[in-house]
Structure 1
Amino acid sequence: MSDILRLLARSTSVSKATAPSKPKQPAAPAPVAEVKLSTAARRREQKRRAAANAANATSQSPITLVTAPPPVADEPQAARNGKEEKKKSKKRKRDEVEKTDTEVSASNGSATLDPVDARSLLKQHKLKYTILATLGSRQELLKAAQIEEEDKEQEDKVVSKKAKTKKDKKKKESKEKAKEKGDGDGEAATPKPSTSTKLDQIFPTPIQTFEELRTSYNISKRLYDNVMVQRFTAPTEVQMGSLPLLLDGTRHLVPGLEECDVDLMTIAPTGSGKTLAYAIPAIDHLIRTKHEEGEGYEKGIRVIVLSPTRELADQIVNEFRKLLLGTGIKVVGMKKTLIPKERRRGGDSKNEDHDDDDSEEEDSESSGEEDSEEEATNGAVSRSKKGIAVKSEIMVATPLLLLHAIQLCPDLFPISKVSRIIFDEADVLLDDLFLSQTTSIVSHLTSPSLSFSFWSATMPSSSETLATKLISSHPSVLSGHKTRKLVRLIAGIKDSSLPTIRQTITYTASERGKLTALRQLFTSSLKTPCLIFLQTIPRAQALHAEIMYDLPAPNRIAVLHSNLSETARSKVMDSFRAGEIWVLITTDLLSRGVDFRGVNLVINYDIPTSVASYIHRVGRTGRAGREGGMAITYYTEEDVKYVRGIVGVMEKSGGAEGLQKWMLTSLPKTTKEEKKELKKKGVKERRAGAGAADNKKSRISTKSGYDRKIEMRRKAAVDVSKSRMVRRDQNDDEDDGESGSEWEGFA
């Protein structure tokens, strides 16, 4: 028996001595390479690492039993570990994969750029971040204030240590001087506390290529492919600055925003790509939510995009559909036909946001076609006995129409799960015209994780304060467990147009001079497609009637305004985009957000009612960095007191031509009361229902008053003669009928 034990001990010792050394595990690959692997490859890599760690643990443990089996038993142990991992739920695997992805993206990529390099990069692209407000519950605000005070104290200590030696030297020198002069007190005066009200700035690292969305921020592969299909060469400034704050990947690593919820206010020039900047994070957030909830995911409205006009809403829907291909997420544009007829209000046709001017008859005729089109294109709506229930995750709407849908049909439009609300052209949505509707919509949103984002090319200080109040008064902020920070991002120069647009301003003295200058432009240097903006709908109709035959080709001039039906407006828009219409006469209905990439010329026939309106009008050309766009502004004697602000924008943007210095200094300044009156009512002489003298001044015609009287008399005479002819024919028919009834034939 002892010989057998010796033999076993000898065999084990020999096997330990002669067994080949286990090869060293190769070093873990760089995290950047892991991001490029597929999900299945990452899972296999995790299993391999777990098995390797188990093998190392068993090989390093001391051998206590002589009769232990040889080291070949490591393989069954690895197999058992693999089987145990296979039995885990799919949800847990997804969580592990997403966790490793976020760790990888946090450890590498653009988020770890040196702060000095990040600041220089932001300065190069003219990106500026400021924290407008820190919001949240009282407890969270107190905690945040304490943390800020501690950070400031630490900074002060560091600064005081560095400056201590200098202060000591100065004190010694002052004491020596005081002794020499015979003064008893040689101490320096204590410095006054700083009272600066400067806003805090942050310096996140912007993205420089679209490839970073996949490698550093780990967005969905399908979403990334849809972005790259659009053939975007490089992100614009607003996309470089906003995407790192809105994407869920590494936002928590931004200095100053650790463990905070972020609401963003973005101010960027027109045509700079704001729609793509907020569409990508919204879709990525929905895809992540869908993966996290797994089988328990329910379809419904989760993201709301508000826009002031229907044309802009339709454009946003089209942009979202390009990015949603193959993702399983749906988008729908809010229309009146989605509300059942028996629940609609009688006053819906009179919509303040210029998008519900259609009659009930037109809606009933086109409702079936629109519903079938929606179901066929994106499956965003489904019919039920009660009406049409919205099944899409993204809803794009105008404020009043969405508010009516929420109030009248809460069962068909559930919004309790809305986690993001996006305000496109936010300064208009926070203006007096839409403010009550916007606040009512926000009050109906009850999600505790609701986040806000505001987007516009112009954002006055009043809109910033209203946005802060809107967020701070929401229940999700007051009852939240995290502090919220409203961050303002300015891309480029605030309240200015793109420098690639050539801008000119021309004095025409009178309305007749405007029309003469416009006709001269038609015959000399007209660049089509062209947009002409006027102050009111009657003036737009009058100009269209006056110049509709001035172009050599017929039917190339059209007019678009809110009094037209929905079908007529969409038809005009499609014809203009297709190139069938060369000159489009319109009001401020098309001044905001609508993307006409091929517009070469914008004419302000009537000066805009505000500086912001001028910036948005001019922004219809020069879209997406396209050069060659031109903007012409005509002004008369009545407009002189309103021109200075426009000239200032032209000078700030750097694209002005022929701008004289005296216009920046000698033009009269506009008072606040005049600005308010101009914004609400426009120039007095061109308002609807002005006096007789004002109507003569604002008449769009080159004919004299005498010629117009003769023409009106001729028209009246023609109308009278036509009515006489109609009456005569009617009397003749009646006489023939009477004589026919008395005739009884020959006797």
Structure 2
Amino acid sequence: MSDILRLLARSTSVSKATAPQKPKQSASPTPVAEVKLTTAARRREQKRRAAANAANGLSGTPITLLAAPPQVSESQVIKNSTEEKKKSKKRKRDEVEIVDTTVSTSNGPATLGPVEARSLLKQHKLKYTILATLGSRKELLKAAHSQDREDEAECGNATSKKVKTKKDKKSKEGKEKGKGKGKDEREVGDNNTEAVAPKASASSKLDQIFPTPIQTFEELRTNYNISKRLYENVMAQKFTTPTEVQMGSLPLLLDGTRHLVPGLEECDVDLMTIAPTGSGKTLAYAIPAIDHLIRTKHEEGDSYEKGIRVIVLSPTRELADQIVNEFRKLLLGTGIKVVGMKKTLIPKERRRARETSDHEEESEDDDSESSDECDSEEDGGSDAETVNGAVARSRKGIAVKSEIIVATPLLLLHAIELCPDLFPVSKVSRVIFDEADVLLDDLFISQTTSIISHLTSPSLSFSFWSATMPSNSETLATKLISSHPSAVSGNKTRKLVRLIAGIKDSSLPTIRQTITYTASERGKLTALRQLFSSSLKTPCLIFLQTIPRAQALHAEIMYDLPTPNRIAVLHSNLSEAARSKVMDSFRAGEIWVLITTDLLSRGVDFRGVNLVINYDIPTSVASYIHRVGRTGRAGREGGMAITYYTEEDVKYVRGIVGVMEKSGGAEGLQKWMLDSLPKTTKEEKKELKKKGVKERRAGAGADNKKSRISTKSGYDRKIEMRRRAAVDVSKKRMIKGNEDSDDDGDSESEWEGFE
């Protein structure tokens, strides 16, 4: 009953408003037009319709009003239409955002704009420069023509703009100074602008690029789509945020994202990275190499074969072992294996043939390879088992089934030349040079080029990593890439990109650096003992120029610490087992002070070292940077470096002081030192780098008083030498007397037979 009353009341109210005509309005093709009518026009229309309904007798028929829609006011209609438009716009915007998110996730990271990218790179002190554009002649010509067109277009726009601004400026000056003079200046300015603008535009376009760096390790998974297992291994190392070198290098090295970098579209990229010591370069090249192997394994599927696909070269055996350990942490559960090249992987028969034919090269290789032990953590296919003096070959006929091999140059070259069947390198797609400036130096360049000549993969890529990179090393790297068949016969152009993280050829600003004048060798030893008794921060590394001087200093100060057996010496004349024992003891904290040569100056990671002492001045600026870099690793603050120099070292100090000033971590350094110190000639630098300071070379310390490491006076030394000589003479007499007594005993025993 209530429903009927409600319907009757509704019909009565609607009939008063002449709502029966509403269905006809809904059937009209343009119902929105009525909403736009003015209030007066609507009232006139309602009166007209009411008169027409009264003439037809429809005013008293409420039954037809049951299906009519309710009365909607003008404001309500306008409000509903506005809300509907907002909802449709929001729906379209959400759909666009979903599409953009899907594209960025599937095709790679979203790139920032040029202004934002430049600001971010400047904030983190990252600079990218294209050193060379390489490739086949056809591709280079094609790229050059397209580049010239772009440069001409940009130069034309820039020239026109500069000409206009120049004319406006000169016209104002002409009004002030005179018409004739202003006109002449405008003409000269126009000619200069046309001559200079193309060069400036071309250089800025060709040389520098501005990629978007990564800012968190989570982007490796979300934006770059690396392997889930690899990402978990990276996060398991508890790295908080990527360092500058990792932020800048990973976007260029990870597969599938180079085409998004402006300036590198449809190009193969070779990277040269220069970053301070302890900045995380190993992780920066390990992640892309492992990700590349995982993708290759997934793409090849069942046809994938084990074998060497990535080569990492390092100058010393200690650094190679460290790199292997870092790779193993990232390879857990990925199915990819890494192996450190060992001498025992080469069959003994072939080794003996090599040793007899080239004994000199083998003696040099003793400093960087192991001859006693194999790595126990390698997989079954990576170690070669020795059976009856020969290496047992695997089913596939190779000695190393690991995809990544880390080696010193000479040892790997011997393996490739002596055993091409056991060490096939035709599938190697990436070569990584750690401490590249040393590997491209005179000592290793012939071995490095010989290894590269054996690599025949058409998709071979190169990456160079170091804290210091002189210009001649950059030139050698460019020649090395351009002469390789992969660059000459490739279908794409190749670009060698140099990345500088921080300030080139400088040490970390977190390291406090001091330089002390000691006048003589006695002054050095006195200053060192004073440091031991006052403010020694352990663990401590002490670097010397030669092995005899390191041994002499160890013999002089081995008992200067209150706790015995806390000072040790490490050099290349020690056996591999002895070197490993010293390294393990130093890392474990059992040894507080380690005396060494430049053997440990490069790459070796001692995260807890608090003090580095350059007892002998480094042989080059690069050597100083690498020595000092043994402290302050991974952004750790509190590291300190002390350099002693004598009267003979004054002419070599200027370069070191320049590095200290550039890094900003020097203490007590005054400007007058740079102005008053003598400049070193190129010949002196070369001689210092090859042979060291003349007074401290090998063999000079025995007779040269200036280079002797001792605080004893000449009188005391003579007495000590006489005592030693007397002891030696007495020992000889005792030995001779024993021999004579033995002879007498023998003769007596023989004569006892006579009666």
Q: Same fold (TM over 0.5)?
A: yes
The separation in 2 between residues aligned to 1:182 and 1:734, in whole angstroms, is: 117
The separation in 2 between residues aligned to 1:288 and 1:467, in whole angstroms, is: 28
Please state how far the C-alpha of 1:729 moved relative to its aligned partner: 2.0
* 2:681 aligned partner, one-letter code: T
The separation in 2 between residues aligned to 1:497 and 1:358, in whole angstroms, is: 26
Equivalences for residues 190-209 of structure 1 within 5 A: 190-191=191-192, 192-194=194-196, 195=199, 200-209=207-216
Structure 1 counterpart of 2:591, from 581, 588, 592: 581
SS in 2 for 1:602: strand
Structure 2 counterpart of 1:402, from 412, 417, 432: 412
* 1:399 aligned partner, one-letter code: P
Equivalences for residues 530-679 of structure 1 within 5 A: 530-679=540-689
Identical counterparts, % of pairs: 79
| Residues 374 and 380, structure 1, Cα contact 8 Å, conserved in 2 | no
The equivalent of 1:156 in structure 2 is 155
Aligned residues: 645
Change (3 A) 1:579 1:445: same
Change (3 A) 1:31 1:412: farther
Q: Tell me the alpha carbon deviations over residues 76-121 of structure 1, each in whole angstroms, 9 at most, x when there is no partner.
A: xxxxxxxxxxxxxxxxxxxxxxxxxxx5436674x42222111111
* 2:439 aligned partner, one-letter code: L
2:735 aligned with 1:726, yes or no? yes
The equivalent of 1:11 in structure 2 is none
Please state how far the C-alpha of 1:664 moved relative to its aligned partner: 1.5
Please state how far the C-alpha of 1:163 moved relative to its aligned partner: 5.2
The separation in 2 between residues aligned to 1:327 and 1:670, in whole angstroms, is: 52
2:317 aligned with 1:318, yes or no? no
Structure 2 counterpart of 1:230, from 229, 232, 237: 237
2:482 aligned with 1:472, yes or no? yes
The equivalent of 2:49 in structure 1 is none
| Residues 556 and 580, structure 1, Cα contact 8 Å, conserved in 2 | yes
* 2:617 aligned partner, one-letter code: I
The separation in 2 between residues aligned to 1:408 and 1:339, in whole angstroms, is: 8
Change (3 A) 1:353 1:212: farther
Change (3 A) 1:108 1:415: closer
Equivalences for residues 380-395 of structure 1 within 5 A: 380-383=382-385, 385=392, 389-395=399-405
| Residues 381 and 400, structure 2, Cα contact 8 Å, conserved in 1 | no
Please state how far the C-alpha of 1:624 moved relative to its aligned partner: 0.3
SS in 2 for 1:527: coil
Change (3 A) 1:717 1:394: same
| Residues 178 and 186, structure 1, Cα contact 8 Å, conserved in 2 | no
Q: Tell me the alpha carbon deviations over residues 689-714 of structure 1, each in whole angstroms, 9 at most, x when there is no partner.
A: 33876x21100000112211111110
Structure 1 length normalisation: TM-score?
0.82
Moved more, 442-451 or 705-714: 705-714
Please state how far the C-alpha of 1:617 moved relative to its aligned partner: 0.1
2:273 aligned with 1:266, yes or no? yes
The equivalent of 1:138 in structure 2 is 137
The equivalent of 2:712 in structure 1 is 703
2:466 aligned with 1:443, yes or no? no
Please state how far the C-alpha of 1:596 moved relative to its aligned partner: 0.4
SS in 1 for 2:594: strand
* 2:158 aligned partner, one-letter code: V
| Residues 358 and 565, structure 1, Cα contact 8 Å, conserved in 2 | no
Structure 2 counterpart of 1:329, from 324, 333, 336: 336
| Residues 230 and 330, structure 2, Cα contact 8 Å, conserved in 1 | yes
* 1:105 aligned partner, one-letter code: T
Please state how far the C-alpha of 1:185 moved relative to its aligned partner: 9.3
The separation in 1 between residues aligned to 2:443 and 2:381, in whole angstroms, is: 33
Structure 2 length normalisation: TM-score?
0.81
| Residues 518 and 645, structure 2, Cα contact 8 Å, conserved in 1 | yes
The separation in 1 between residues aligned to 2:96 and 2:668, in whole angstroms, is: 64
The separation in 2 between residues aligned to 1:544 and 1:187, in whole angstroms, is: 75
Please state how far the C-alpha of 1:172 moved relative to its aligned partner: 8.3
Please state how far the C-alpha of 1:599 moved relative to its aligned partner: 0.5
The separation in 1 between residues aligned to 2:234 and 2:272, in whole angstroms, is: 23
The separation in 2 between residues aligned to 1:643 and 1:186, in whole angstroms, is: 50
Structure 2 counterpart of 1:304, from 295, 311, 316: 311
| Residues 130 and 201, structure 1, Cα contact 8 Å, conserved in 2 | yes
| Residues 384 and 392, structure 2, Cα contact 8 Å, conserved in 1 | no
| Residues 368 and 408, structure 2, Cα contact 8 Å, conserved in 1 | no
| Residues 297 and 304, structure 2, Cα contact 8 Å, conserved in 1 | yes
The separation in 2 between residues aligned to 1:300 and 1:250, in whole angstroms, is: 26
Please state how far the C-alpha of 1:380 moved relative to its aligned partner: 2.3
* 2:722 aligned partner, one-letter code: R
Please state how far the C-alpha of 1:742 moved relative to its aligned partner: 3.2
The separation in 2 between residues aligned to 1:232 and 1:180, in whole angstroms, is: 68
Equivalences for residues 144-293 of structure 1 within 5 A: 144-160=143-159, 162=161, 166=165, 188-189=187-188, 190-191=191-192, 192-194=194-196, 195=199, 200-293=207-300
The equivalent of 1:118 in structure 2 is 117
| Residues 263 and 453, structure 1, Cα contact 8 Å, conserved in 2 | yes
| Residues 612 and 630, structure 2, Cα contact 8 Å, conserved in 1 | yes
Structure 2 counterpart of 1:717, from 691, 701, 726: 726
SS in 1 for 2:695: helix
The equivalent of 2:105 in structure 1 is 105
Change (3 A) 1:257 1:352: farther
* 2:579 aligned partner, one-letter code: R
Please state how far the C-alpha of 1:591 moved relative to its aligned partner: 0.3
SS in 2 for 1:277: helix
Q: Tell me the alpha carbon deviations over residues 114-133 of structure 1, each in whole angstroms, 9 at most, x when there is no partner.
A: 22111111000000001001
SS in 1 for 2:496: strand
The separation in 1 between residues aligned to 2:449 and 2:316, in whole angstroms, is: 17
Equivalences for residues 484-563 of structure 1 within 5 A: 484-563=494-573
Q: Tell me the alpha carbon deviations over residues 545-581 of structure 1, each in whole angstroms, 9 at most, x when there is no partner.
A: 1111111111111111111111111111111111111
Please state how far the C-alpha of 1:354 moved relative to its aligned partner: 5.8
Gaps in structure 1 of 5+ consecutive residues: 1-23, 35-102
Please state how far the C-alpha of 1:346 moved relative to its aligned partner: 1.1
The separation in 2 between residues aligned to 1:325 and 1:316, in whole angstroms, is: 15
SS in 2 for 1:389: coil
The equivalent of 2:750 in structure 1 is 741
Change (3 A) 1:175 1:719: closer
The equivalent of 1:19 in structure 2 is none
Change (3 A) 1:406 1:744: same
Change (3 A) 1:357 1:592: closer
The separation in 1 between residues aligned to 2:686 and 2:626, in whole angstroms, is: 18
Moved more, 170-179 or 639-648: 170-179
Moved more, 178-187 or 129-138: 178-187
The separation in 2 between residues aligned to 1:683 and 1:181, in whole angstroms, is: 67
The equivalent of 2:83 in structure 1 is none
The separation in 2 between residues aligned to 1:729 and 1:128, in whole angstroms, is: 77
The equivalent of 1:46 in structure 2 is none
Change (3 A) 1:528 1:181: closer
The equivalent of 2:11 in structure 1 is none
Change (3 A) 1:165 1:379: same
The separation in 1 between residues aligned to 2:170 and 2:643, in whole angstroms, is: 64
Gaps in structure 2 of 5+ consecutive residues: 1-90, 386-390
The equivalent of 1:69 in structure 2 is none
Please state how far the C-alpha of 1:403 moved relative to its aligned partner: 0.6
| Residues 331 and 378, structure 1, Cα contact 8 Å, conserved in 2 | no
Change (3 A) 1:666 1:215: same
Please state how far the C-alpha of 1:233 moved relative to its aligned partner: 0.5
Equivalences for residues 79-98 of structure 1 within 5 A: none
* 2:273 aligned partner, one-letter code: T
| Residues 171 and 182, structure 2, Cα contact 8 Å, conserved in 1 | no
The separation in 2 between residues aligned to 1:651 and 1:247, in whole angstroms, is: 36
